[in-house]
Amino acid sequence: MEGGTILYTRAASTRRTFVNSVMALMVLLTAHTAMAAQSGHSHSHGHSKGHAKPELQLMNASARATRPGMSSSAAYMTIFNGTHEAVQIGSLSSPVARKTELHTTEMDNGMMKMRRVDNITIKPGDKLELKPGGYHVMLMGLKKPIANNSEVPVTIIFSNGDTKTVVAHAKDEIKGQHMAH
């Protein structure tokens, strides 16, 4: 941050008034454009009726609310491949985390361990369930705590180029244990 000195000269305040009116004009123009775009959208809506395109769906998403000191958390959901082709889960992201990965939980020498998985394929018509003790979206390096009842958007980019975002509902209690990293 720069700590500049603000000079309240007559010239400066005149310029500020000018800037303000330009901005007000821009807001008006933007609002107008948005309205035009909206009416255009509702118009084209009628055309797509009854042509539900088979697609990928993210359903029933939940996330684990954090307790003090937790720097990572997990999100769960069902991913449905409604397309006619097998797809892979490409990359994941969430605005709440610095790093978002797909993990699986496995038994290793009698210990529950999590590891990152990169090549999960979902066949056409299949569902992949992300749930405690199995596959999950790992939210790492949280930017702030995840409060109970807050919303956690998670975006998945699939191998076919489709990008889907779901808003996971954060809960304190999710059945099943999840280990910390």
Whole-number Å distance between alpha carbons of 64 and 71: 12
152 near 75, Cβ under 8 Å?
A: yes
Residue 114, interface with Cu ion (CB under 5 A)? yes
State which of positions 25-54 bind Cu ion (CB under 5 A). none
Residue with the shortest CB distance to Cu ion: 103
Are 116 and 101 a contacting pair, CB within 8 Å? yes
137 binds Cu ion (CB under 5 A): no
Q: How far is the CB of 37 from Cu ion (least distance, A)?
A: 40
Regarding 103 and contact with Cu ion (CB under 5 A), the answer is: yes
Nearer to Cu ion, 83 or 156 (CB): 156
State the DSSP code for 43.
Answer: H
138 belongs to the binding site for Cu ion (CB under 5 A): yes
**Residue carrying the six token digits 């603000």:** 6
| By the rule CB under 5 A, 77 interacts with Cu ion | no
Put residue 31 in one of left, alpha, beta given phi > 0 → left and psi -120 to 50 → alpha: alpha
142 binds Cu ion (CB under 5 A): no
Query: How near is the Cβ of 9 to Cu ion at its closest, in Å?
Result: 58
Q: Which is nearer to Cu ion, 64 or 83 (CB)?
A: 64
Phi then psi dihedrals of residue 83, to 5 deg:
-85, 180
Whole-number minimum distance, CB 74 to Cu ion, in Å? Answer: 6
Q: How far is Cα 135 from Cα 129, in angstroms, rounded to an integer? A: 7
Binding site for Cu ion (CB under 5 A): 103, 114, 138
